[in-house]
Structure 1
Amino acid sequence: MFGRNKKDQFGEILNEMTANLSEAASYFSSFSPEKLEDITVFSETINNYESQGDRLVYKMIVELNDTFITPIEREDLLELTNRIDDVLDSMEKAALSFEICHLSKFNDVITSMAAEISGACESICEAVELMFHKKLKDINALSKKIKAHESACDALYRKALLDLFQDEEDPIRLIRYKTVYENLEEIANFCEDVSKTLNSIVMKNA
């Protein structure tokens, strides 16, 4: 398992990845657009975070190819890397959908779902840091937090769809908001996938 005294480059890359993810999620949840042009800036900023994530994925793959012995199974390192990248990719997709759907303001549902996603990403960042310090037992508690955020996001999503189909009479607006809500729910699902991968690594290395 990871240890700083061994100058473990894999742990450093994972920490960079999750720090980038958490920062992107924090920006995502705190952004409050006032006009349509703001959404373009928002989408471009999230795209920059995603591009940085891609660079770190590439860096991880290079390290895996250049290293004979890894601190944990290389398949697990690659799996965790890809699952973290999935969260950022889905975040970029959601941000782009705001721009495509011409949403100039975020309603309470979007704000609440984004806050849950940000909380999940913070827990992912903390869990990877714990793994880096060999504190495996504490990772399970954070995995439960990630699941709780995903469940809360799922509940918001279900209620939002029920309200949308009951109250919205404009079919174009219905499609726009349905698309956005689905993309936000997808981010939360990918966060849960990260927690499952973390749990699997803990089980193998406990």
Structure 2
Amino acid sequence: MFNKKPDKFSLYLVDFAKHLNEAVDYFVHYKVKDTETLKEFASNIKRRESEADDKVHEIIKDLNQAFITPIEREDILQLTMNLDDIMDGMEEFSATMDIYHILSSDDYMDQFTDYILKCSQEILISTELIANNQLKEVEPHAIKIKDYESNCDDLYRESLRSLFQLEKDPIKVIQYKEIYEILEEIADYCQNVASTLQSIIMKNA
């Protein structure tokens, strides 16, 4: 009879997804030019990752105190941890770029991060749909995330093939291989979000 208002935990998830999307947008569009801007990039991502950790702690604390939740508390926790994994992956990437002093991305990194940004946009849409009690409309967005992750799998193989064939410096081979692995892992974390979303849809159909 009445439009149900979004509950506290749905709003928590939307807030987390917005934070993630803003971080990924920065992650993709910030231009590193020199050592100083590289350190600024790594520091900014680290700060955002730390803020995400605070959100995780707040959600867990309230989950432990809640009597009733809109969806199963295990699913809320799982989705929260999935989102946090993506933030952790970005922090690992930025820290690794700083450690190896890599001052510019290449085409493969740009393609990876473009797919990750598309994933984060779909994740935000999905959490907003959950908050508005439109669970049935989440499925196409979860499928898109999985498609983007599949594209990253192909990109990962292509990036390694190119790296091993064209790069003669063994140090650079080691460094870039690790960078590509981290980016592919972030895409995997996005797929984990999609799988959790699909599980929530099935349980609440």
TM range (shorter): over 0.9
Amino acid at match of 1:166: Q
What does residue range 16-35 of structure 1 map to in structure 2 within 5 Å?
Answer: 16-35=15-34
Distance 1:151 1:35 in 2: 33
Distance 2:162 2:3 in 1: 50
Which residue does the alignment assign to 2:55? 56
Q: Is the 8 A contact 1:19 1:125 kept in 2?
A: yes
Matched, 1:92 2:94: no
Distance 1:46 1:160 in 2: 24
1:43-62 deviation digits (Å, cap 9, x = unpaired): 11111111111111111011
Which residue does the alignment assign to 1:186? 185
Q: Give the aligned CA root-mean-square deviation in angstroms.
A: 1.4
Amino acid at match of 2:135: L
Distance 1:183 1:199 in 2: 25
Q: TM-score, normalised by structure 1?
A: 0.95
1:67-118 deviation digits (Å, cap 9, x = unpaired): 1111111111111111111111111111111111110111111111111101
C-alpha distance 203-126 of structure 1, shift in aligned 2 (>3 A): same
Which residue does the alignment assign to 1:102? 101
Matched, 1:203 2:202: yes
Amino acid at match of 2:198: N
Q: Is the 8 A contact 1:42 1:95 kept in 2?
A: yes
Q: Is the 8 A contact 2:100 2:175 kept in 1?
A: yes
CA positional deviation for 1:36: 2.4
Which residue does the alignment assign to 2:128? 129
Give unpaired runs (5+ residues) of structure 2. Answer: none
Matched, 1:118 2:111: no
Matched, 1:47 2:46: yes
Distance 2:136 2:66 in 1: 28
1:107-131 deviation digits (Å, cap 9, x = unpaired): 1111111111011011011101111
CA positional deviation for 1:9: 1.1
Q: Is the 8 A contact 2:5 2:132 kept in 1?
A: no
Q: Is the 8 A contact 1:32 1:106 kept in 2?
A: no
Moved more, 31-40 or 13-22: 31-40
Amino acid at match of 1:19: K
Amino acid at match of 2:49: E
Amino acid at match of 2:70: P
Moved more, 138-147 or 4-13: 4-13
C-alpha distance 54-4 of structure 1, shift in aligned 2 (>3 A): farther
Distance 1:126 1:62 in 2: 25
Aligned residues: percent identity? 41
CA positional deviation for 1:134: 1.4
Which residue does the alignment assign to 1:82? 81
SS at match of 1:103: coil
Give unpaired runs (5+ residues) of structure 1. Answer: none
Distance 1:162 1:12 in 2: 43
Amino acid at match of 1:169: K
Q: Is the 8 A contact 1:33 1:104 kept in 2?
A: yes
Distance 2:9 2:55 in 1: 11
